[in-house]
Amino acid sequence: MSTVFVVGSLNIDQNIRVSALPRAGETVRGSDATYSPGGKGGNQAVAAARAGAAVTFTGAVGDDAHGRRILEVLAEAGIDAGHVRVSGTAATGTAVIAVDDQGENQIIVSPGANAGLTAADVEAGLAAVQAGDVLVLQLEIPTALVRQAARTAKNRGAFVILNAAPAPRQIEALLEDVDLLVVNEQEIQVLAGLTGLAGIQGNHRDLVTSLPPVLGPAIVCTAGAEGSFTVVDGSPVHVPATKVDARDTTGAGDTFVGYLAASLAGSDRELPAAMLHASHASAVAVTRPGAMESIPWRDEVPA
């Protein structure tokens, strides 16, 4: 099996349950706050490891209790976290997450130590990348580091996956070394606007077909209960979602990306088959609270 390398964010998630998400200017009463490990990079790394992949992670945490807890969870998943910087000057990143009774969420992220990740950290973390490996990236760390990591891995023959989340404000040079772009239905609309396609092809199903020639990489679009979409050999492919009663959708997309990367690293699976496995894993995750803690192990996911 090839190795999955992840360069990205690590956060402590402050979770609050509410009956309904607040509107602008509105105050709502929530549950007592709970704290759990998260961050898009960390979630995706844990998902890939729990799916059975060998995973190496590059990122940063603070020298605090939250950072130590995150490192414990990475170790429990079997992740090589030797390239996680422990900052003595910045606190571990924090995400404040409100989840309503329908399982939908609103998230505010304070980067903390994630903002201190350096180009040297990235180079050291990717030193062992070789042809056939998979690199997974997101956009919760500085964009310059995302571009650097993609270029380094691509030059060594790795397959590069970018989860364009949070949605970028610009895409110049961001996708030059990306093989597969993973976005949700909101993020693909943002990309359509950045490329001038917004208003021309507004449906996310259509955008999956229209955007690759413009952007370059292949695209997988996740759409919650509608499943996920891609294009294979010019033909649209729809992978239905597994029907479940969602309790908390936090981390579902990260579970999808991590399982997708593990599938592509671990065998000769075609993309739709990898998407189906990732969809099954996400369906398990949304039935549980939290982000990293909700990610299932391989034996909990239907084959």
Question: Rounded to whole angstroms, what are the CA distances from 154 to 40, 150, 205?
Answer: 21, 6, 28
Q: Please, which residues bridge with residue 97 across strands?
A: 15, 107
Q: From CA 187, how far away is CA 122, in angstroms rounded?
A: 26
Q: Is 63 helix (H, G, I), strand (E, B) or coil?
A: coil
Give residue 176's pLDDT: 93
Tokens of 71: 């490192």
Q: Kindly report, residue by residue over 118-132, the tens digit of the pLDDT.
A: 999 999 999 999 999
Question: Rounded to whole angstroms, what are the CA distances from 261 to 52, 85, 124?
Answer: 11, 24, 21
Q: Is the pTM of this model over 0.85?
A: yes
Q: Kindly report, residue by residue over 163-173, the tens digit of the pLDDT.
A: 999 988 888 78
* Burial annotation 84-113 (CB, 10 A radius, 16+ → b, else e): bbebeebbbbbbebbbbeebebeeebebbb
Q: From CA 85, how far away is CA 121, in angstroms rounded?
A: 8
Q: Which residues are catalytic?
A: 254
Residue among 171, 163, 184 nearest 215 (CA): 171
Q: Kindly report, residue by residue over 67-86, the tens digit of the pLDDT.
A: 999 999 999 999 999 999 99
Q: Kindly report, residue by residue over 82-96, the tens digit of the pLDDT.
A: 999 999 999 999 989
Q: From CA 27, how far away is CA 159, in angstroms rounded?
A: 45
